Structure 1
């Protein structure tokens, strides 16, 4: 891990591994990155929520997910 969370996240993302198949080492690295940068953790949370809305076709929840955190 470097002193640049964005660069570390890029290294994890370049592995193109779905989140549910990360190795323990990759998951630990991602956890450290997200702890170091709350903005990236927020992006991750919003992306997960949007994915859930799209997957479950809960369009009525979209406005809350998008604007609820503002």
Structure 2
């Protein structure tokens, strides 16, 4: 499978998952997304930010 076809396969799936993630959190207010609701866990934005960063690195690696 060529890198071009891998990118074509990954990109639509990524867009679908991204829109579903946004839908899950559309009603969350900014203060709720930035605070730790459970003391042993980080704020939800921390997790989403790191997931997005790792995914962007993966897409960059496979697109070049």
**Highest relative contact order (Cα 8 Å, sep 6+), 1 or 2?**
2
TM-score by length of 2: 0.40
Larger Rg, first or second structure (1 or 2): 2
TM-score by length of 1: 0.37
